[in-house]
Structure 1
Amino acid sequence: MTYSLGENPSFQTYGVVDTGTDLTCRNVVHDTLTLAASSTSDIDGGKVAFPKTLFGCADKTTGYFVPEGSGIVGLGRAVVSGSGTISTPLVKTDNDNYYHVTLAAIRVGDKRMQFNFDGWPIEEGNTVIDSGSRLTILPQGVYFKVESEVIAKIKSCQARITRAFSLWYASESIESLGAPIITLHFRNNAHVKLNPMNTFILVSSGRVCFGFRPMMRSVSLKGNLAQVNLLVGFDLQNNIVSFKPTDCTMF
């Protein structure tokens, strides 16, 4: 996203919006952060300013960012409402730096799988909404069940397994793959449907990779690929996060 720093004069730069970063900054200062409002907003001038925003310099970071990026923008509360909006409670945990929700189950096509391990109760706050990570990360036990169902549902071409992306297909496009809808079932009957563009990535000509990865951890991450064409709002006053299907090309 593009944003402006400072006032009289201000300068425009580019950064990654992140709701789940581990950055630690030094050389901290305050300044005004200005964002362009959405096309559906009635804000005067089409811009909204946040005075006294905290900025810092991080000199020991890891991760993959586009060369044009100037940093990470960490954002707080916003409210999403209207037709089609679904909401699930935010869960307080020992680490309040992240937005935790509870993922109860995952459905691949018509096959539903509970998000638990060896019959244990579902852990509250088991998923982080992370807009700074590209992929969705699942615990290994859950991931391989999901992967097996995806492989069973895709009939157009043969599945391939590599280390970089656990599952990929030799396909010229995501559309031609015939991938199933994956639904994330959160608490409070919040069912978020992920289209193939939310779950697969065309990484090169003729190579489409699954946008989920396994990891040896109990907490999962819902990455930004799974948030494409969704308005995501964090209402910290009411402790809920909301999702609304949206055509983001209209903004």
Structure 2
Amino acid sequence: MARANGFIAQDTLVLGSVSGNKVAFPRILVGCAHETFGRFPSDSSGIIGLGQGSISLISQISSSVRGKFSYCFRQFPSNVNSILHFGENAVVSGDGAVSTTLVTNKDPKKKGNTVVDSAGTTFSMLPKDFYDKVESEVAANIELERSHDPFNYNLGLCCKSESYEMFPAPMITLHFNGHKADVILSPNNCFFRMSQSVVCFAFHSIPSGRVLIGNTQQVNVLVGYDLHNREIR
């Protein structure tokens, strides 16, 4: 787990727009860290909060962007930048778009058992009983020599593979509540290259709790949030 110590400051946030003009958001609360703990990439500039907390970035600018944002993560490493949109250009639509209800902790009448993490978690987390079944099924469909997690990230299924493009892994489908709300994950969404010769199943086992979908499973998938209408697609 990563954490940071620092100060809260207030500043004007300036973002680019599709029109080419700059858009300023005054009096935005930001955190300025002077001490960090955990895994923070040395070349990163910071972390954007897109959760439902009162001082997350999306909560602070929600009225200006009508509660809408979307993102598309690129494969790592890549020379192509990932995409983050706010407002009307964040709407996800067209063929292949599916949607499900976005449940908040403030709504006790709705049931939700999955958390979709927009940036902070690399690998997905599954309760142990469920994870064991998934790992067993995936391992049974992979004809590669087993290996070990070279960085001790506690990933249970690792294999030796020199060729990432031709990696013969099964497809996995995430089923969400909604009309045909299925998301098909490619092998690149399910396995993470840990080294030149080792790839690992990009899912963690946790003792219990909710399923958490990490950002590896969202690579090359356009994900949009509509906080006002409680929808994710």
Q: TM-score, normalised by structure 2?
A: 0.72
After superposition, residues 36-51 of structure 1 pair within 5 angstroms as 36-37=16-17, 43-45=18-20, 48-51=23-26
Q: Following TM superposition, by how much is the alpha carbon of 1:85 offset from its aligned partner in structure 2, in angstroms?
A: 1.3
Give 1:92's aligned residue: 104
Take 1:192 and 1:57, find their aligned partners in 2: how far apart are those partners? 37
Separation in structure 2 between the aligned mates of residue 46 and residue 132 of structure 1, nearest angstrom: 29
1:124 aligns with 2:115: no
Give the Cα separation in 1 of the matches to 2:163 and 2:155.
17
Structure 1: state its 5+ residue gaps. Answer: 1-20, 38-42, 97-122, 243-251
1:158 aligns with 2:145: yes
* Matching residue of 2:14: 34
Q: How far is 1:59 from its partner?
A: 5.5
Query: How far apart are residue 234 of structure 1 and its match?
Result: 1.1
1:177 to 167, 186, 190: 167
C-alpha separation in 2, matches of 1:147 and 1:126: 20
User: What percentage of aligned pairs have identical amino acids?
Assistant: 44
Q: Which amino acid aligns with 2:99?
A: S
**Which residue of the other structure, out of 128, 142, 145, is the alignment partner of 2:133?**
145
Deviation at 1:92, TM superposition (A): 2.0
User: Structure 1 residue 94: deviation in Å?
Assistant: 5.4
Instruction: Give 1:47 shift.
Output: 5.1
Q: What is the Cα deviation at residue 167 of structure 1?
A: 0.7
Does the 8 A contact of 1:25 with 1:56 survive in 2? no
Change (3 A) 1:150 1:124: same
Change (3 A) 1:206 1:25: closer
| Stretch deviating more after TM superposition (60-69 or 196-205) | 60-69
Q: Please identify, of 197-206 and 75-84, the stretch whose mean Cα deviation from structure 2 is larger.
A: 75-84
Q: Provide the residue aligned with 1:209 in structure 2.
A: 200
In 2, Cα distance between equivalents of 1:221 and 1:95: 19
Alpha-carbon distance in 2 for matches of 1:231, 1:46: 24
Letter in 1 for 2:101: P
User: In structure 2, do the counterparts of structure 1 residues 174 and 181 end up closer, same or farther at CA, with 3 Å as the change threshold?
Assistant: same
Displacement of 1:49 after TM fit?
4.0
- 1:145 is paired with a residue of what secondary structure? helix
How many residue pairs end up in the alignment? 190
Supply the distance in 2 between the matched residues of 1:93 and 1:135 (Cα, whole angstroms). 23
- 1:47, 1:217 → 2: CA distance? 45
Taking the aligned partners of 1:231 and 1:206, their CA distance within structure 2 comes to 29
Which blocks of at least 5 consecutive residues in structure 2 are unaligned? 51-57, 59-67, 70-90
SS at match of 1:147: helix
Is residue 2:216 matched to residue 1:241? no
Question: What is the TM-score with the length of structure 1 in the denominator?
Answer: 0.67
1:191 and 2:203 matched: no
- What do residues 13-64 of structure 1 show as CA deviations (whole Å, max 9, x unaligned)? xxxxxxxx99687632222223445xxxxx2116554333220134665432
- Would you say the 8 A contact 1:158–1:169 is kept in 2? yes
Task: Indicate yes or no: 2:158 matched with 1:168.
Answer: yes
Q: Letter of the 1:89 partner, please give it.
A: T
Alignment RMSD (CA, Å): 2.8
Which amino acid in 1 is paired with 2:116?
I
Report the residue type matching 1:27 in the other structure: F
Q: Deviations over 1:60-91 (max 9, x none)?
A: 65432210113211133323223321111011
